Structure 1
């Protein structure tokens, strides 16, 4: 059986769309992603959490790392909760200071 769901209309085609909507539509095309595959709200929330809780430059780096993890999961045919996990890590971040070993300041493997 084939999927009869019509393709999603680009965000930028909707009345009231923004420059960001049109940019993400163009970026999805350029990168060969399905239309509306980028959850703009979730990415912006993640970037906000990283920027405010960790440091401003952490926003793009965290978004990239979460996207990379999600892509690896997709390549394995698995679902990914990378955005949620990265956001939770950013919100829980407590900088252990220079020279301290480890990651987010929370228990490893949690």
Structure 2
């Protein structure tokens, strides 16, 4: 069972803790359902291995994938898969892009 105590109730809580508590409430998520450390680790890995703007986009995509899995009644390994993908990312560069990728068709 997950601890349902808001993070902000803990000694030494931060602005981030209070924000995540408020965000979970606003979005109708159970308290402490966001694994802040795992999300920050994912964002760091995407930012450092891919590009800085990849951090929020990757976090959004993982949340979306996890939400779709939950809607199907399935568990999600999206966070782990995205982390592994970011850590092993090697940009193929423009020559590795699909031939029709900027053709406007």
Q: How far apart are 1:100 and its partner, in Å?
A: 1.7
In structure 1, how many angstroms separate the alpha carbons of the residues matched to 2:97 and 2:82? Answer: 19
Whose RCO is larger (CA < 8 A, sep 6+)?
Answer: 2
List 4+ stretches of structure 1 deviating above 6 A.
none
In angstroms, what is the RMSD of aligned CA positions?
1.6
> In the alignment, which of 27, 30, 45 is matched to residue 31 of structure 1?
27
Partner of 2:103: none
Question: Against the structure 1 CA distance between its residues 20 and 54, is the aligned structure 2 distance closer, same or farther, given a 3 Å change threshold?
Answer: same
Number of aligned residue pairs: give it.
98
Partner of 1:42: 38
| TM score, norm. by length of structure 1 | 0.84
| TM score, norm. by length of structure 2 | 0.88
Q: Which runs of 5+ in 1 are unaligned?
A: 103-110
Higher helix share: 2
Q: Which runs of 5+ in 2 are unaligned?
A: 99-105
Q: How far apart are 1:7 and its partner, in Å?
A: 6.5
Q: How far apart are 1:43 and its partner, in Å?
A: 0.2
